[in-house]
Chain A
Amino acid sequence: MSVHTFTLDGQPVAGAAGETILEVATEQGVSIPTLCHLDGLSSVGACRLCVVEVAGRPRPQPACITPVEEGMEVVTRSEELDEWRATVVEMLFVERNHICSICVANGDCELQDLAVDLGVDHFELPAMSPRLEIDSSHRLFAIDHNRCVLCTRCVRVCDEIEGAHTWDVMGRGIDARVVSDLGTPWGASPTCTSCGKCVQVCPTGALFEKGRAVGEGAKERRPFLPYLRRHGAGTR
């Protein structure tokens, strides 16, 4: 196995070929904010929270899908990165309706935690306030699209771990939605095994167990099946 040496925030570090910047940073105890990434699932670089600066590259790079290279100089914290990350979080908030005070995930929400960590305490962008539906047709679970950040963890866990592939993404851009079985109501899904993994990995209150009141949506977010992880599996 070849090893690449490079600098992370000025410190010399080493990573195996195929490892991502995020993986090496995590091993080194350097914290990089993430949202769509979840250990044990493939990475898709969707949310852009984990962007880092790499010397010589014109744009910030998503750490979760950028493999380490020999001699690269990576910066994980800077004023500019903080601002970009805060902007990403602000845009996620204004795009849909995230009202923490009445949310089942209040107090156990990764979007809320990111806002706190990144100092996003108000919005300067106008809220879009879309009217989105809730699919509560499943016997045990419901999905509130108002709170979905399109991280696609549910899509990946259902496909890669449960093997059911109930979830997909339909539509493009602002109209993109997570859908069950090509738009079939969840309760009528022929593929869903009701395992609940999608609910457990959801970073917000978009997917939740029915019957939970506000703030009662604490989830089990341990990494899935770590033995499935292998170096290089982080990128698709």
Chain B
Amino acid sequence: MSGSGQDQAPAPARGEERIVIDPVTRIEGHARITVTVDGNGAVTGARFHVTQFRGFERICLGRPMHEMPAIMARICGICPVSHIVASSKACDEIMAVAPPPAAVQLRRVINLAQVVQSHALSFFHLSSPDLLLGFDAPAGDRNLFGVAAAEPWLARDGIALRRFGQTIIETLGGRRIHPGWVVPGGVGRPLEHDQRNAILAAVPEALAAARRGLRWYREQLDRFSEEVESFGTTPMLSMGLVHDDGTVAYSDGDLRVVDGAGTVVADGIDPRTYHEHIGERARPDTYLKATYWKPLGHPDGLYRVGPLARLNVADRLGTPEADDRLGEYRERLGRTPQSPFHYHEARLIEILHGITMIGEILADPAVLDPHVRAGAAVNRNEGVGVAEAPRGTLFHHYRVDDDGLVEWVNLVIATGHNSEAMDRAVAEAAARHVRADRLTEGMLNRVEAAIRCFDPCLSCSTHALGEMPLVIELRDAAGVLLDRAARP
């Protein structure tokens, strides 16, 4: 994530103009979109720029290995748990220990809880306003408050699902954000009987909310056929973790890659060998590193990760109800849907699966085993940890000296994998929806919405909704203002 990017888009060619969407709203982090248009007002290209430099690969050099999960958690306030899990797994490797079985299961539970809460945030808080109120609705209404006014149950369910996940994270980890409980070698404290019962008691209500959300989304889908077809449908590879039995994996498993037609390109890849299979590129106009599947090279090896990709690579989810919904999804959309718009539905199916899995794992009394941590000194100088973050596959790769001090770090983050797929989605959405000679805010909202499908995490915590003004200015190559659209 420390690509040597800079915060400048290439200058427009002669006769071209540029529309800048800055900042992109209702995503996690800070970004800008540049849309280039020709002299006739037709879109010739679009790019997605991440404008923040974080530098975590440098910050932690020299620090003791056991601090790494806590440092890495600070990358993000939305999905810190995935960073903590991946980081602790990298440290497990360095210590050459296998965490006790109860710890493995508890790490799964907390990571699934985060998938549920983060997906709920993405769908209900950030994207449902567009789906409920329409892409052209007044910008001031397109937020959770607008949803609450129009369909109170939808907003309530979103809040309840997020609370379900956050409460589990707090119960296990001691706090909702940046819990320090997942540690090298396992977890910090065993699960108490009462805690387990409290979580299990909340499962049925959460399942009901997940079902309502999915049913509602499916009823809306027909209204958005134009967006479904224009949000970056270029066939691409999908990558994700799967268990040996072909079910979707979040905290363990091996890498599988399938192509746009559903053919398995690679399977059973030990994620610790990611660097042999995944190439990384720094690009001049964004701080986001981009990746590609090495055996196919760039750009043929571009791939997506996250909910859409996970459902594409997995044979099944592994819980009956979610698998039924997955079957219906595939029946309607094909075995490996390619439109990023379907990230929304994949996300809702994953919420259903995640809640069910949490219930299944905690139903086994073995999770109460007090033996939850393995201890050791440095036994290897290098370790790779991997987890599925809500947004996709996450790699943490560390090298340490013999005393356990960090010497080198490489992070490959979900949004980096999706970087070029997002560029293509932006370009396609802009080409379809933006006309520079009659610019409307709704047109640009569609371009932003293409990005929101991916739920990119730009390594940061959330925005305060409704407080970020958006001004879009259309200027010609000489900088003369041609048109202006403002969001209140």
A136 at the interface (CB under 8 A from B): yes
Alpha-carbon distance between A104 and B180 when the two chains are bound, in angstroms: 10
Set of chain A residues within 8 Å of B184, measured between Cβ atoms: 211, 213
* Residue among B63, B180, B375 facing the most chain A CB atoms (10 A cut-off): B180
B146 to chain A, nearest CB (A): 35
A229 at the interface (CB under 8 A from B): no
B63 to chain A, nearest CB (A): 7
Q: Which of B62, B66, B178, B183 contacts A210 (CB 8 A)?
A: B66
Encode contact with B along A165-186: 1 for CB under 8 Å, 0 otherwise. 0000000000000000000000
Alpha-carbon distance between A10 and B405 when the two chains are bound, in angstroms: 54
Encode contact with A along B64-75: 1 for CB under 8 Å, 0 otherwise. 101101110010
Interface residues of B in 185-202 (CB under 8 A from A): 188
Contact B69 A134 (CB under 8 A): no
Contact B62 A211 (CB under 8 A): no
Contact A213 B403 (CB under 8 A): no
**Chain B interface bracket (under 10, 10 to 19, 20 to 34, 35 or more):** 10 to 19
Set of chain A residues within 8 Å of B67, measured between Cβ atoms: 102, 104, 213-214
A213-B183 CB under 8 A given contacts A101-B74, A134-B63: yes
Majority secondary structure, B binding face: loop
A9 at the interface (CB under 8 A from B): no
Contact A102 B188 (CB under 8 A): no
B88 to chain A, nearest CB (A): 9
Set of chain A residues within 8 Å of B403, measured between Cβ atoms: 136-137, 142, 187
Chain A residue nearest in CB terms to B405? A136
Chain B residue nearest in CB terms to A133? B62
Contact A134 B405 (CB under 8 A): yes
A134-B70 CB under 8 A given contacts A213-B184, A215-B180: no
B404 at the interface (CB under 8 A from A): yes
Contact A211 B180 (CB under 8 A): no
Set of chain A residues within 8 Å of B69, measured between Cβ atoms: 213-214
B261 at the interface (CB under 8 A from A): no
Set of chain A residues within 8 Å of B64, measured between Cβ atoms: 134, 136, 142, 144, 210
B185 to chain A, nearest CB (A): 8
A221 at the interface (CB under 8 A from B): no
Set of chain A residues within 8 Å of B71, measured between Cβ atoms: 102
Chain A residue nearest in CB terms to B71? A102
B65 to chain A, nearest CB (A): 9
A216 at the interface (CB under 8 A from B): yes
Encode contact with A along B1-27: 1 for CB under 8 Å, 0 otherwise. 000000000000000000000000000
Set of chain B residues within 8 Å of A104, measured between Cβ atoms: 66-67
Contact A212 B62 (CB under 8 A): no
A210-B188 CB under 8 A given contacts A134-B63, A134-B64: no
Contact B74 A213 (CB under 8 A): no
Set of chain B residues within 8 Å of A101, measured between Cβ atoms: 70, 74, 178
Set of chain A residues within 8 Å of B62, measured between Cβ atoms: 133-134
Contact B188 A213 (CB under 8 A): yes
Contact A213 B63 (CB under 8 A): no
Set of chain B residues within 8 Å of A144, measured between Cβ atoms: 64
Interface residues of A in 42-88 (CB under 8 A from B): none
Chain B residue nearest in CB terms to A209? B66
A105 to chain B, nearest CB (A): 12
Set of chain A residues within 8 Å of B74, measured between Cβ atoms: 101-102
Chain A residue nearest in CB terms to B401? A136
Set of chain B residues within 8 Å of A215, measured between Cβ atoms: 70, 180
Encode contact with B along A138-151: 1 for CB under 8 Å, 0 otherwise. 01001010000000
B377 at the interface (CB under 8 A from A): yes
A99 to chain B, nearest CB (A): 9
Alpha-carbon distance between A187 and B377 when the two chains are bound, in angstroms: 14
Set of chain A residues within 8 Å of B405, measured between Cβ atoms: 134, 136
Contact B377 A213 (CB under 8 A): no
Interfacial residues, chain B to chain A (CB-CB below 8 A)? 62-64, 66-67, 69-71, 74, 178, 180, 183-184, 188, 375, 377, 403-405
Could you show 8 A-B contacts with beta carbons less than 8 Å apart? A101-B74, A102-B71, A102-B74, A136-B405, A210-B377, A214-B67, A216-B180, A216-B183
